Amino acid sequence: MRRPRTAARVTGTAVTGAGAEVLLETARLRLRRFTPDDAPHVLELDGDPAVVGPTGTFLKAGNRIPDATWSLTHTLGRFLAANGRDGPFGYWLAEDRAEAAFCGWFRFTRDGGDPAVVELGYRMRSALWGRGLATEGARALVARAFAEPAVERVVATARADNVGSCRVLEKAGLSLVGRFTGDGDLVRVAYACERGAWAGAAAPAE
């Protein structure tokens, strides 16, 4: 049984009202490029203890929540620098299609510059957790990755104790392939999906 694809409309060079390139749209989400005007969104997410704290999706050295300077120079600066540098790859802001409200962001980058491997990541506003938005966006990005002929593998990592993130990756079609120790001696888990497995598998349960 072949995997039913996540309904996603690839918009190519379409732009939002703010002039930002849109990568794709799903039933509820629009993924677009970051602009300098998105600084408040980055600050909001990096300032959310549920997202960046010890049990969140991100942990800065010393368990400190990133300050505004760090968030704008490191996080937003990295997102903006990636715009247009590698085709459809980079960091994509996720917004609600109906109201253009900020939901979070997705990482969709070449892993170490290898054209055959794409790294998937995400961070969503904690107020939106549990609604399936991360899974919806992640599935669409896995499908988008394999639409590129050169891509053979999609990879991702998560904290081993972040059950929610691990479940999102599994629902997106990735499988656990290993464990390793990351920064601060945190145990992390590695996930991957091969092109052949994606093409031949049934869609995971919601």
Q: What ranges in 72-162 are assigned the alpha helix state H?
A: 77-82, 133-146
- Which of 104, 160, 161, 109 has the alpha carbon at shortest distance from 136? 104
Residue 33: which pLDDT band, with cuts at 50, 70 and 90? very high
pLDDT tens, 59-100?
444 445 667 888 888 889 999 999 989 999 999 999 999 999
Say what the pTM is. Answer: 0.84
Least confidently predicted of 9-23, 29-43, 127-141? 9-23
Residue 165's pLDDT is 94
Region 133-160: mean pLDDT is 96
Residue bearing the bigger pLDDT, 21 or 56? 21
Q: What percentage of the chain has pLDDT greater than the value 90? A: 64
Share in percent of the chain as helix, strand, coil (round to 5): 35, 30, 35
Residue 174's pLDDT is 97
